[in-house]
Structure 1
Amino acid sequence: MRIASFLACLLLFGSSFLSAQEASKLSEIDQLKVDAKNARFSNTAVASSLLLKGLDLSQQKNSEGDIGYFYRKLVSEKGYAQQLDSARYYFNEGMQYYQSVLKEKGIENMEDELLGAHLHSELGEVYSINFVFDKSRDEYTQAMKYYDKFDDYIGVGIAKINIGNISLRQGDFPTAIEIFLEGKAIFDTTEYHYITAEICSSISSAYEKMNILNRATEYAQHYLNYIKKSDYEAPGIINAQIYLAKLSAKRGNISEMNTYLSKAQIGIDSLDLNYLKPALASAEAYSLLLSNDYEKAKTLLLAAKPYLEESKVDPLQVFNYKYQLAKSLVTTGEEHQAQQILEETIITVDSLHLYEEGIEIAKMLSRIYETNHRYDLALDMLKKHQFYTDETIGLKQQLAFKEIETKYQNSVQKNQLLKQQQKIDEDAWRIKRNNLWIVILALLLALSLLIYFFFSRNLRAKKEKELNDQALKSTQEKLRISRDLHDNIGSELTLIKSKIDQRIYLLDDEKEIESLTEISNYSKFAMDELRKTIWATKTNEIQLSELEDKIETFVQRFDINYELQSNYNDVAISSLTGLNVYRSVQEAIQNAVKHSEASTLFISIRQLSEQQFELRIRDNGKGFNTDESLRGNGIENMSVRMQEVEGSFDLQSSEEGTLIVFGFVAL
């Protein structure tokens, strides 16, 4: 959700009316972004200098999107350089700029109305990487409030994930799981499957830390399933299979472990993904180490060592591989080789919060140093060993407290239920003591109610049916509107995010410029789609001519010739019919443009009778096999939409092109 960056690039390339000198300045700003990114990890001073220069040029140009971008990146850069005071300074400067633009233009005219949310999120990340977790949580919470204010549920979900990660890093696993599940509930309603996959991975990791292996395996399987649904490449699937193999080994299910390892091995070999071999070897070696087969584990891990490419895999996978290799080397008497590996791994213990592993690493290093008469280093390792032990005990105590707290709450609830049951029993006893005339009165009242019910039930049933029908129609209408908002706006924003992530810093040639221009067009179209949905739902009926205008506006956004013919007397159609026909036409046109290789679209609207109308879309493309394509969601959605408005849908395709016919009725 790098909206400010997107708008910066939009301003950079979107205007054809800039002078050559102005365009040169924007190009310089763009180059400064790229140079600052490249220098970020190698030379923070140079990166900061480039960002400050970019901010100055943007302010001279009064480029709102670029100014917001550079304030955000300065906050982030100063944070990575551990300059917290400077990070807070640029955060405050950025918020002041945001408030001034908000006051001057109003929220509806701002290029990035979420700049405030992004700045809080950047500062939250700064505090997180510098281990100031309480302040980090506060900043992410503030960001979440901004996102919620502007109905950006994706931003709210990401903020929850960041807060959950803080609890995970602090070892508060139950709280982390609770927050992750809240985030998952948000993304379960979207097509951001890769985000849901990462949430499931984090939940699985938390359960693994708590040694609740069945739940860890359950969410690891969800992780694998969501990866398969997303656009992830094979490495993501293979990593999930490797993780599941490790969990199977922990649970003692060797057969299941071997199944996952076999699947991962096939994927690595068939796709030549050799850099994943150390992770695969690490998972298999884990089982061997559990069974004390250190020699075989060492041989397996050393065979994979030439393929270790730390830049391509997750730091945790690198840590696990080195940790297990060092452990097998120490056990087989090769302490000299193990020493260097252990010294590398203990550096990452703190950043990855792997305190249980840190206890054993510090213990092994202390013994090696003592054997080599390096008593000062041996003492340092003993101190680390004690520190990691204290941290681990603290986490276990925390988990135990959570368990006790849960039991206490359950006990309180149980006592409350017992008191309620006792009160019910006492009330029942009092009722039995009532006088006979009260019983007779109750019987008479019941008889009266029975007579009243007998004469009025038909009327009530009729009224209830009418109310239920109205409620059902209203609910269906709302569900349809929600689905349309989600399907269209969500998918466009997904595409924008994907493009921005891939291209935001890669603006070296015309091809990249063209790509960002395309992203700009998608963004504008997404907002236009929202307006069209509101247009169709704010009234009970629309004119057919309005629908024709919307269709022509939509087709004009594509680089394709078209002919639009109409022959009808303008009539009113229901807003639901108009919306469903329009969405179906959108799907048909997009399919033709993307897949048919057509040069021309032929669109016609004609009146068959007083209330019957027909809309045809024909292209001169290459056609397709309808039997195979009918299994796709797009064609199925068109058919369902037309059924919802009691319309018709027909599709014919051959080598000469494709014809789609929509039938619908007027009011």
Structure 2
Amino acid sequence: MKNKFLTAFLLLFSSLLISGQEHKAKIDSVNSIPYEYIVSNIYKSIEIFSLNAKEAERIGYKLGAAKSYSQLGKAFYLNGKYDASALNYIKSINLFEELNDEKGLVDAYGEFGYQLKRRDMVRANLFMRKGLHLAEKNKYDSLIVSLYDNYGVLKEMENKLDSADYFYKKSLSSKENMKDTIGIPYSLNKLAGIESMKYNFIAALDYLKRSDVFRKKEIGDFGRAENYAAYGDVYKRMNLIDSAIISFKRCLSLSGKNGINFLIRYSYEQLTDLYKKKGDYREAYKNLEMLSLHKDSVLNKEVNLNIAQLEINYESEKKDHDIAVAKLELSKKNSLLYLLTALASVLGTAFFATYKYQKKKREKERIELEYRGKLMSAEMEKKMGDEKLRISRELHDNIGSQLTFVISSLDNIIYVEKNNPFTEKLKSLALSGRETLEDLRNTIWAIRKKEGDLSQIIYKINDLIYKMNLMTPTISFNNQTDQEYNLTSTQLLNSYRIIQEAIQNALKHSEASEIIIEFKSGIDELIITIKDNGKGFDVNEIYEGSGLDNIRHRCNEASGQSKIESGPGGTLITCAFKVK
């Protein structure tokens, strides 16, 4: 009897265990719905993941619930429901942290940081860096590509275009290696945006054409809608207003069918601005009204201010029309004209008062935003300064110490082995080591400087000339500037390297007997010239990687413009820096 009872109990327990495992498998299957389905079926995705989260909570499956909440956060964000999105991401993060699931945390941190970008950039960067740290530590290659993309967006919003370009290209390279046909066009679009912001429109359009090839193969409309928006952005910067309007209307058509609210809002916002540029205030007003219907509460204040301004423009046109009609009927409707004039005066006063109030309000908000931006910039500069100081210490304490040891060792060997035939070669090596150590010290000097005045670089140049004048030709320096200049650390280092490179080129190749270095004042710029009386060369035959190519690169890197002239009478190198 006992054996029969035990057998029945084991059968019942096994069936319940199998049933529970099947239940979890179904929940996991729903959570694995791909991104391309979510963006093309936003409303349906919200319903599916909401039910999935409830079911996971009901059976106590925390991992399934965490993944469902993360997917819900993504769907609500695409639908423009930012508060709901944030709530679900927080639930997801709490569960992943409780489970110590680092892979889940990478995705949740990254997505939550991305959706915070327009409301709290500091926290957005914080969560994004948390995700990047975990992904790089655990080598989650499939997750890190999207983090690179999203982190690039944050850098783009902070106007750090070179950083954004770096992360977008890292993401694109990884996606191409993984043959990620869904992710590749996203990175291409972002790179197109960066090139457009740099006014490299041909490169931007080329990236978008490459993206179109992938978008045409997608099942849903999200990718094609996003590409229309990207084309609209490029055309707008190119001042092709009508082409931009057509692109955003096409984006709006596809986004409206699929409930892609953030693209709907963005299209209305851009159409409003484009019609204002055309002077078509009626169409601008219509699009701004549609924008106010779709924009969330966080951004409605800004929309209402713009509506008030457009109402003034629109009502002003209407009022002018009414006055013109009233003048035509002046003889018959004098009494009505007086009434309309009085009414117009009252309305004008009311609108003017409203306009002044809104203008002050906008100015106050602008000042607050500017203050927050300066505060963030100051914090970032402090962090960069600390990091530069740390790097300079590492260079000094490690590489500097090792070079000093090598030079000292070579000197000892030379002293001991005076008659050894290899002594001359060792002396050459020791000299090269000292030159390298001097270059290292100059680099450390520039890194430690946040900025400096002209006297600091003049001191360095005079020191360089003193050492160079131990050889021929004669090198002289003239400072003809008539004011003080503040130079950045990059300008300090690069101006020194440019002069050093120019002198070395003249010594090696020009057969010059004299080299003249001059500093001159320009309009908001410092002009550096290095002139020699050597045999000259053909400037059209400068090859990439040469010393002159390095001079051009360093000048451009320090926000300057370079010019190289050469002929039988010698060579003139000019670099003009924009300075404070």
TM range (shorter): 0.3 to 0.5
Q: Which has the higher contact order (CA 8 A, sep 6+)?
A: 1
Q: Report the structure number with the largest CA radius of gyration.
A: 2
